[in-house]
Amino acid sequence: MPIEFSAATVHVPAADAAADLELLAPTSLHLTENRIAVIGANGSGKSTLLRLVNGLVRPSAGSVTVNGLDTAKDGPAVRRSVGFMFTDPLSQLVMPTPLEDVELSLRRQYPDRTARRAAAESWLARFGLLGLAGNSVYSLSGGERQLVALTSVLAVRPEVLVLDEPTTLLDLANTHRLRQLLGGLDQQIVFATHDLDFAAGADRLLWVDRGSIAFDGAPGPGIERYRELAGSEIWPRQES
């Protein structure tokens, strides 16, 4: 599904400055690849870029479209086709248990409560989570929470999946489990990550540096250049 950035810019008012703060410089991109990784230091603009894709952030100028739908003008339709996962799953798990959370995602597809519950159980079983269906989400491990959040997003059958640093809070085993699961999905996936091994498996790499695209191309060369600059003088100013 084509994702089109046309001179998309994001700026916000700055209380202590005369001019607005620019979070993303005018950016034009045509994204059609199946797996697109976004890297960059904390505060570089990665999350802003990702949130433009499903309309969580609207461009201050320019536009972003997904399969021809404008994210600012057609927000609800875009969000039905673009699923979004936050870094911390607890920010999107709104129901007490995994079963109830997946059921909430399915309420439009299955008006009948019995059918909705059966469908939710099927989705949880698909990802090995059925045994946790009735547990409190607060009793789950970080990896289990992330998988439940992913299940709730996938249950609405989005065509695009956007993930904001999905492995940041996970240990090595759960990172591997999540990466394997994502590798088996049919959706186009755009993900931000600090895990350069994860990024290396993408079809295309975007490196965001201080609100601008510093690199756009094959992951290998972009990651190599990114590593080279890790010890340079610009790095401490970017990292937070």
Instruction: Give the pLDDT mean for 172-178.
Output: 87
129 CB-near residues (< 8 Å, 6+ apart): 98, 144, 147, 148, 151
Over residues 31-39, mean pLDDT: 97
Q: Does position 173 have pLDDT exceeding 70, yes or no?
A: yes
- Among the listed residues 207, 209, 144, the one whose alpha carbon sits nearest the alpha carbon of residue 173: 144
* Confidence label for 239 from pLDDT (cuts 50, 70 and 90): very low
pLDDT for the residue 232: 60
Full residue range of the structural domain in which residue 168 is found: 3-238
**pLDDT reported for residue 3:** 97
The one-letter amino acid at 57: V
Q: What is the pLDDT of residue 174?
A: 86
Identify the DSSP state of 149: H
Confidence of residue 121 (pLDDT cuts 50, 70, 90): very high
- Residue in this structure with the two tokens 């079809």, named with its chain if needed: 203
Question: What is residue 27's predicted lDDT score, i.e. its pLDDT?
Answer: 97
pLDDT value at position 136? 97
Lowest mean pLDDT among 16-30, 45-59, 188-202: 16-30
The average confidence (pLDDT) of the chain is 91
Distances from the Cα of 209 to the Cαs of 23, 42, 189, 215, 220, in angstroms?
A: 11, 10, 21, 9, 17
Residue 231 has pLDDT above 90, yes or no: no
At 17 the pLDDT is 63
Per-residue pLDDT, averaged over 30-46, amounts to 95
Please report, rounded to a whole number, the percentage of residues in the chain having pLDDT higher than 90: 79
Q: Which of these, 211, 189, 214, lies nearest to 37 by C-alpha position?
A: 189
Domain count, the chain: 1
Residue 48's contacts (CB-CB under 8 Å, 6 or more residues apart) are 10, 23, 24, 57, 211
Whole-number Å distance between alpha carbons of 240 and 231 = 15
CA 78, CA 101: separation in Å to the nearest integer? 21
Please report, for the domain that includes residue 188, its CATH number.
3.40.50.300
Name which residue leads in pLDDT, 98 or 143.
Answer: 98
